[in-house]
Structures are given as C-alpha cells and as structure tokens.
Amino acid sequence: MLQYEWRGTPGSSQMLLRLVHSIAIAIARPLSRSLLFNSRTNFSTTCELRKMGRQSFHPQAASFRLCNVSSYTTEVLEILSEDPALHVLFIPGNPGEWLLIELVLTICMVEYLLVYWITTGVVAFYKDFVESLYQLLGGTVSITAVGHISHSRKDWEKRRLFSLQEQIDHKMDFIKQEMLDAGVPIILVGHSIGSHISLRMLEKSPEKVLYCIGLYPFLKVNSDSFQQSIIRNLCRASFTCAAVSLIVSSFGFLPRSASKFIISKSLGKSWSTTAIEAACSHLLNYHTVRNMLFMAMTEFEKLSEEPDWAFWEMNKRKLAFLFGTDDHWGPLQMLEEISCQVPEISLSIEREGHTHAFSCTQAGSTWVAEYVASSIKDHLSSDTFSGPRKAL
C-alpha cells in the first residue's frame, strides 16, 4: 500500500492534533447550546414551481437496491419510468474534505457553529431531490443515483480505500453494465466532485452522454480558501484520518434514537428527516469516513491541475453549471474563469439562500430539482440539440 508522508508547514501538525482532539467535543458543544436555545432558521424559496410534464402525474417514491459493479457492492437509488425519454444518472459528491473538519474549524476558530456540509457519496441523502426531479419531469425520465464504492451502510469491501480515479472507473463500469442495453440517451448530473466525475465520464463516452449538468461544482482547488488548505493537509496524514474516523464511528455505537437526537440538535438543525436518517445510517461508520478522507486526498491532488479547456470548448453545448453565491468549493471566481475560457457554456447562480449541501433540506432539494428539470427541457428544445425529441 502506498504511504503518504506529512507535508504540512511547521507547526501545522500540532494544529491538526488540536483539531482532532476538538472533534470529540465538536458535537457535544452545539448540542448543549441547543438545549438552551432551541431556535431554527428555515430558508424559504421564492422560486415558483414550474408546471412541467403531465398534469395528472402522481408522485412516486424512489427505491433503494444493491448491485454488483465490477465485483464491488454498490448502493443505488432510483425511479424508473415505464416509457423513458431519457435516463438521468446522478453522481453524488464526497463529504470527507469538509464534513467534520469544517465543524471543528468553526467551533475552534470562530466560536460559533457554521457547518458547510457537502452531501455525499451516500445516495440516501438525495432521495428528496430524486423524487422532486422525477415529478417535475412528469414521470417521463428514469433517474438513477449511484453511490461511491464503500461510502455505504456496510463495509462490503473490508476497509479497502478507493481513490477518485477508481470511483470514476466504477461509474463508467456502472453505465456499461446497467444502462447501455436500454438504448435511451443518458444525461449526467453531478454534485460537487460528482461534477468532475461527470466531466470525465463525458470525456470517455461522448457518444453515449447527451448532456452534463454540474451542481455547486468542485472543479479546481481554491488556493484562496483557508478551509481547503487545512483539510488538504489533514487528509495527507493517515494517522489523523484514522483518528477522525475512530472518533466519528464511536457515535455509531449509540442507540439510533440517541445518534438522531445528537445530529438533529447539532449538525442538522434545519435538515430534513431524510438527511438525518442518512447521516445516522451511513456516516457514523469507520470505513465510510476513511474512504471519504482518502478520496478527498486524491481529489486535491487531481484538482490542483488546470481543467482541460480544449475539451470544454469541444463540448461546450453539452455542459451546464449551477454555482452558489457563498461556496468556497465552487467559488464565483471559478464561474468567471469558465465564462472567460469558454463563453458559450450555460452558467447559472443560485441566489435563494440554499447551500452547497442543498439536498439536506426539502426546500433546497426542490429548488435544485427545478433548475435541473428546466435545464434539461431548455437543452432539448434548443436549436443546438440535434438528437431525437420525445415529449417530457
């Protein structure tokens, strides 16, 4: 197994040790405060639901299943249409870079809780989003969300660690195994690092992918982000990753009711029931946290490189991105860089007050689903689209 040595600046190892020590109380402190101040802030959206698809369509629940992809047990969340015009394949993000570390940073450095939670290689977090998108498209599109290897409820892979490239290869294998026989055009939708994965999938199979949408995309390391520099150094230290994973997994030994109470009173004060359940069932596992942090390390290595702007230019009419107004993982500087390098790419900014972790709230899931549904319909109706048209 490859060994990674610590490359932090002088004194950074001591700082990271302090951070790891603080993780043990990172949840207890906001929990104790919540017992005294049980207030919550709910974002409301001003975006009116567009009437899309069939007027008589009835909502349908997404279903979970396990499938074997290249010998790896894979969690899948999906809703399948009886007569699909398209198949949307959703690629989730990875919370390892920021999930716990930003919680600790905000408690230790600024003394109040401000969590930037990115949701995740765990497809259970996206149930509300998938169901909203299916409803908005009138049931005419099949939607499948495929999880990352070992970001799972059970340790199917016996604590093996998987890199960003291995996760990309896994998604390509999933398409070959599960989707090609259907003969239906594929649209890729990626969240955070899932946006980068979607781009690599488009690069490998441009003839199979009709369109690619990136949500709050993590496409390039943000050298101006203090949070990213801390997280990047922490992910390089295998011992720190192991310590963080052990501390987090210790909460998984609590009764489910206790872990749900802790999460709902600390990290998830405004979260939906779906998000809280997903956090309890998946994120309090040693193998999951270790894989998130290992994948994060390989993400920082890869995304230190410049994007392949020539490839972007060649596929500009197949690409669309949604950025947030206050998101250091997908900062507006990146949007400006894209608009300068490839001016004709479709770029949008969400200004409704949702966060990078949009799928943790019902309002965020619904709003982003509206954006994706609208983007798909706009693309299919545009003059640049030359493929077969089937009413949505």
DSSP secondary structure code for residue 348 in this structure: E
Q: Tell whether the model's pLDDT for residue 99 goes beyond 70.
A: no
Domain ranges of the chain: 12-27+61-379
Least Cα distance to 193 among 301, 342, 354, 77 occurs for 301
Q: For the chain, how long is the longest CA-to-CA vector? A: 64
**Mean pLDDT, rounded, of the chain:** 80
Q: What is the pLDDT of residues 6-29, one digit of tens each?
A: 344 445 555 455 554 554 444 444
Please state whether beta strands 141-146 and 86-91 pair in parallel, antiparallel, or not at all (unpaired).
parallel
Q: Tell whether the model's pLDDT for residue 389 goes beyond 90.
A: no
Q: What is the pLDDT of residues 101-156, one digit of tens each?
A: 444 444 443 332 233 334 457 888 999 999 999 999 999 999 999 999 999 999 99
Q: What Å distances lie between residue 253 and 25, 130, 131, 257, 288, CA to CA?
A: 17, 30, 31, 11, 15
What pLDDT is stored for residue 301 in this prediction? 95
What pLDDT is stored for residue 55 in this prediction? 44
Q: Tell whether the model's pLDDT for residue 48 goes beyond 60.
A: no
End-to-end CA distance of the chain: 49
Q: What is the pLDDT of residues 69-89, one digit of tens each?
A: 999 999 999 999 988 999 999
Could you tell me which residues are beta bridge partners of residue 78?
Answer: 63, 144
What pLDDT is stored for residue 385 in this prediction? 54
Virtual CA dihedral for 366, 370, 376, 377, nearest 10 degrees?
A: 140
What pLDDT is stored for residue 326 in this prediction? 84
The predicted model gives 212-234 an average pLDDT of 89
Strands, sheet with 186-191, edge to edge from the N-terminal-most edge strand: 63-69, 72-79, 141-146, 86-91, 186-191, 209-215, 319-324, 346-350
Buried b (16+ CB within 10 A) or exposed e, 266-277: bbbbbbbebbbb
Q: What is the pLDDT of residues 315-373, one digit of tens each?
A: 999 999 999 998 888 999 999 999 999 999 999 999 998 988 898 899 999 999 999 99
Distance separating alpha carbons of residues 145 and 186, to the nearest angstrom: 13
pTM: 0.82
Q: What Å distances lie between residue 123 and 29, 63, 153, 359, CA to CA?
A: 29, 11, 11, 10
Could you tell me which residues are beta bridge partners of residue 67?
Answer: 74
Q: Tell whether the model's pLDDT for residue 313 goes beyond 80.
A: yes
Q: What is the pLDDT of residues 174-201, one digit of tens each?
A: 999 998 766 799 999 999 999 999 999 9
Distance separating alpha carbons of residues 221 and 228, to the nearest angstrom: 8
Instruction: State the CB neighbour count (10 A cutoff) for residue 321.
Output: 23
Q: Tell whether the model's pLDDT for residue 223 goes beyond 80.
A: yes
What pLDDT is stored for residue 392 in this prediction? 61
3-state secondary structure of 70: coil
Instruction: State the CB neighbour count (10 A cutoff) for residue 131.
Output: 21
What pLDDT is stored for residue 309 in this prediction? 97
Supply the DSSP string of 151-197, one letter for each residue: -SSS-TTTT----HHHHHHHHHHHHHHHTGGG---EEEEEETHHHHH
CATH number of 12-27+61-379: 3.40.50.1820
Could you tell me which residues are beta bridge partners of residue 321?
Answer: 214, 347
Q: Tell whether the model's pLDDT for residue 54 goes beyond 80.
A: no
Least Cα distance to 31 among 285, 280, 261, 360 occurs for 261
Q: What is the pLDDT of residues 270-304, one digit of tens each?
A: 788 888 888 888 888 999 989 998 999 999 999 99
